[in-house]
Amino acid sequence: MSALGLVAGAACLGLLGLGVLAQSQSPLADSSNRSILHGAAVEYLFPEQVTVPAGKPSPVAFHFRIAEGFHINSHKPKEDYLIPTSFSIPETPGVALKDATYPDGTDFTLPLDPSTRLSVYTGEFTVQTLLVAQRGNHLVQASLHYQACDKNACMPPKTIPVPIDVIGN
């Protein structure tokens, strides 16, 4: 009974502690400095890992999400002064990017300049690629380069990492 009591007492204290801790802690204690202005307007969604036949060009789709209220230029913006969205994989012996196909942009106009039509991505978008992987497991740090704006301001161009584990078999 004493051993059972000890275990029960410890369990009680543990559960009580969990409850009190959860009630008292600030929900955003670990993210107090988050702001979209200081973070990325684009988030890489998936895949984290793909398996492809070794040595053969294989289709792999990369999915991204743009924060609400923002847009980024498409891969083919209509004005030459705008920065296109582009996906790249560094040259490594294990994995090569053979081709990348981007979605068409949608037309967008700024409220104060309705005569200028921009070609942009909003929401979620996908870059279709052809990858060639050698046999083995390759940790690849691909990247997406983009420049984001909302209807009144623009953030500087940014490159976000796109980490993916490519298995060639």
Partner 1 sequence: MKRNSIVLSIVLLLLAAFAWAGWANWEYRKQAAEKRLASAAKAELVADGAGTGDLPHFVSPLMSHPAPGFTLEDLSGKKVSLASYRGKAVLINFWATWCGPCKIETPWLVELRNQYASKGFEVLGVSLDDLDTDDKKMLANEKRDIAKFAAQEHMQYPVLIDGASIDKPYGGLDALPTSYFVDRSGKVVATQLGLTSKDDIEGNIHKALGE
> Is 2 a binder of partner 1 (CB under 8 A)?
no
Closer to partner 1 by Cβ: residue 140 or 149: 149
Alpha helices in the chain (DSSP H): 2-24
Can you tell me whether residue 20 is helix, strand or coil?
Answer: helix
Give the nearest distance from C-beta 123 to partner 1 in angstroms.
15
Selected binder of partner 1 within 60, 127, 142, 155 (CB under 8 A) = 155
By rule CB under 8 A, what string of x and - marks binding of each residue 111-130 to partner 1?
xxx--x-x------------
Closest to 100 measured CA to CA, from 128, 77, 59, 120: 128
Residue 60 in contact with partner 1, rule: CB under 8 A: no
The verdict on 65 binding partner 1 (CB under 8 A) reads no
Of the pair 48, 81, the CB lying nearest partner 1 is at 81
d(CA 40, CA 52): 30
Tokens 């090569």 belong to which residue? 96
- In angstroms, give the least distance from the CB of 16 to partner 1: 6
Q: What is the DSSP letter of 111?
A: T
Decide: helix, strand or coil at residue 3.
helix
Torsion sign across C-alpha atoms 31, 37, 38, 43:
positive
In angstroms, how far is CA 75 from the centroid of its own chain?
17
Indicate which single residue of 6, 10, 34, 123 sits in contact with partner 1 (rule: CB under 8 A): 34
By CB under 8 A, is residue 93 in contact with partner 1? no
Measured from the CB atom, the residue of 59 and 69 that comes closer to partner 1 is 69
d(CA 21, CA 26): 10
Please work out the total of residues on this chain that contact partner 1, with binding judged by CB under 8 A: 44
Tokens, residue 68: 């609400």
> Interface with partner 1 by CB under 8 A: which residues?
1, 4, 8, 11-12, 15-16, 18-23, 25-28, 31, 34-38, 68-69, 81-83, 110-113, 116, 118, 147, 149-157
